[in-house]
Chains A and B, each alone.
Chain A
């Protein structure tokens, strides 16, 4: 933990100019057996930018996120994270925040204990941990439930904590895989509030979601993935204009581009 704190305080990545992208995925390909999950996907995330990664089920969104998190080895292509090729960026964990698609928490632990555990594992220094946990409890709206075990939480509370555990170490790049599934509008607002707080610190964010209106509202740029390839990208307004015409919604764009056929 000491080690990570030192690396952070020396601004390890300051060598990369501020206007370089924080994340570059080039021609990423990955197959699981004979299923091709990624087939030459390209993606660039600028510093401070929020990207909404959309696509039907099975398009390869999770595979792309997991490969940036170092959990999927690409068959071909490369990933550069904060100016370093991914496989060498061994200390990227303190700069990268991952919020997984499933609720990955310890149900027998309280919210505070979960936050402490995941914070420490993500490299938050001991001295800082208490303050970060308080921050996360405050922003996730779980402050009044600190002492309660997570298994007694509602789905929305668990989702909020799931997000909080992935970001309390103040990562520069945040990967969120469907962070708002099955969550009521109030909880959703809380989650966006938490992320906005990070955005003010300059965090960049890659978000996969099926809530197209949400992506439309919060993201700077939309990337649509299908069959493992990026089939369209741009600001929401540009995409609407280019594909479905004036007055269209992102839903129209999505259907227009990916068709009506059912996927996985």
Chain B
């Protein structure tokens, strides 16, 4: 009895290729994607974090500190904006320009070495000016990494200061060094700094002003989330966007499944026999799904605003969200139609699109933020619907410039809207092509 039931179940599974794929292929695909994300493997290697450096101190010690930070490999240090045609020789980052750049998403972290960095380097306590770490709240990983590296860099940057400070203490409390010992130190310390080779230890050592200040403790770091206080930014915006986009795809595919039901029921055939053209059937369905998508996203964002304090009060944000919502819904509705017209049964549609949507969402940043991905994965996101939709939403909800005009803030999402519009056309075109099967046999 049981054997018979088992055999029937097995035959069913064997003949349902979609179920088989969901059972065996999907877990493997997912495992691979997440392994690639978190191991940072594959070509392209681990990702290095871009750090903007504003050196307000501009002293040998601050420069040395910066170089050490640069040499640590995990970071890519930027001293100033990239040169452009309008600005062929840009000024180095200043506190304000670096802040703006992090605010607008050009880099996740900026480090500001304050004036007085050198003169107080290594001091314990007191009112040492803190190194400012300006970070993008969307990327806690970058913040934590840079924070740690700053401490490491302080240790590595100035081993000579460390030695000097130790010897100073010996000098003071341990009975003192002879003059000869002190002269030898003056020659030896630059070697530790790497400024000269041991063979060239003749002549006067160039003094570091800092050497008298001693080296103590690690650099004091003051971390500030950019935009958190001034513009009422909150992580809700990030999650609202990434979750909505993924669920939108699921509900669009679910809605478009009605086309397959029409086919199974014979109402599609009846419509076609009533001389309703395939293009009109697709068009009407697309409009309906797109409106449904707009409604769904609107409810999500309204809920986020009402309950989770998502700030949509500025006209720029509201307009930006509206434009992105229309563009995203239009494309997602097209995606639903594309899937429905290429599948032959609701089961197949459900299976195939679950795989596709989950993969696109994982790669496109709906599940794991793209900044933790290795570069090749981050690039792959540009081939997903989620990647573009999310980028657009983040531009208006997260990286927006509160002082920009309405027009200017809409221009920033131009590329995303253009890509989504292109995807819409491509999806609809492919759906129409697949619907040639509906034409008279």
Contacts and interface: CB of A to CB of B under 8 A. Distances in A.
Interface string A104-147: 11110000000000100110000000000000000000000000
A219 interface: no
A247 to B, nearest CB: 41
A69 interface: yes
A118 B272 CA distance: 12
Contact of B270 (A70, A72, A73, A98): A98
A90 B265 contact: no
Contacts of B266: 100, 102-104
Contact of B269 (A71, A93, A105): A71
B83 interface: no
B440 A106 contact: no
Contacts of A3: none
Interface in A81-106: 90, 92-93, 98, 100, 102-106
Contacts of B270: 98, 100, 104, 118
Interface string A168-196: 00000000000000000000000000000
Interface of B: 265-267, 269-276, 440-441
Contact of A121 (B265, B269, B276, B440): B276
Contacts of A106: 265, 267
Interface string A59-78: 00000001001111100000
List of 8 A-B pairs having minimum Cβ-Cβ separation, nearest first: A104-B266, A104-B270, A102-B266, A93-B275, A69-B273, A121-B274, A73-B440, A104-B267
For chain A, which range describes its interface: under 10, 10 to 19, 20 to 34, or 35 or more residues? 20 to 34
Given A71-B273, A93-B274, A98-B270, 10 more contacts: A72-B440, A72-B441, A93-B275, A100-B266, A102-B266, A104-B265, A104-B269, A105-B265, A118-B270, A121-B276
A70 B265 contact: no
Contacts of B273: 66, 69-71, 98, 100
Contacts of A102: 265-266
B288 to A, nearest CB: 14
A69 B270 CA distance: 10
A118 B269 CA distance: 13
A37 to B, nearest CB: 10
B190 to A, nearest CB: 85
B274 A71 contact: no
Nearest to B264: A102
Given A70-B440, A71-B440, A72-B441, A90 B269 contact: no
A79 to B, nearest CB: 12
A32 B440 CA distance: 12
A121 B267 contact: no
A199 B240 CA distance: 62
24 contacts: A32-B441, A66-B441, A70-B440, A71-B269, A71-B273, A71-B440, A72-B440, A73-B440, A92-B275, A93-B275, A98-B270, A100-B266, A100-B269, A100-B270, A102-B265, A102-B266, A104-B267, A104-B269, A105-B265, A106-B265, A106-B267, A118-B270, A118-B274, A121-B276
Nearest to B274: A121
A114 to B, nearest CB: 10
A73 B440 CA distance: 6
A92 to B, nearest CB: 8
Contacts of A107: 265
A71 B277 CA distance: 12
B438 to A, nearest CB: 10
B269 A73 contact: no
A105 B267 contact: yes
Contacts of A72: 440-441
Contacts of A90: 275
Interface in A209-242: none
Contacts of B276: 121
Contacts of B272: 71
Interface in A43-72: 66, 69-72
B441 A73 contact: yes
A178 to B, nearest CB: 13
Contacts of B275: 70, 90, 92-93
A30 to B, nearest CB: 8
Given A103-B266, A104-B266, A107-B265, A71 B271 contact: no
Nearest to A74: B440
Contacts of A98: 270, 273-274
Contacts of A100: 266, 269-270, 273
Contacts of A66: 273, 441
A122 B270 CA distance: 10
A90 B271 CA distance: 15
B71 to A, nearest CB: 67
Contacts of B441: 32, 66, 71-73
Contacts of B440: 70-73
Nearest to A165: B270
Contacts of B267: 104-106
Contacts of A93: 274-275
Contacts of B274: 93, 98, 118, 121-122
A66 B441 CA distance: 10
A106 B268 CA distance: 10
B266 to A, nearest CB: 4
Contacts of A69: 273
Nearest to B271: A121
Nearest to A169: B274
Nearest to A102: B266
A106 B267 CA distance: 7
A90 B276 CA distance: 11
A69 B440 CA distance: 10
Contacts of A103: 265-266
A40 B269 CA distance: 25
A74 to B, nearest CB: 10
Nearest to B439: A73
B335 to A, nearest CB: 24
A101 to B, nearest CB: 8
A66 B265 CA distance: 17
B76 to A, nearest CB: 57
Nearest to A90: B275
B285 to A, nearest CB: 14
Nearest to A103: B266
A188 B110 CA distance: 82
A90 B266 CA distance: 22
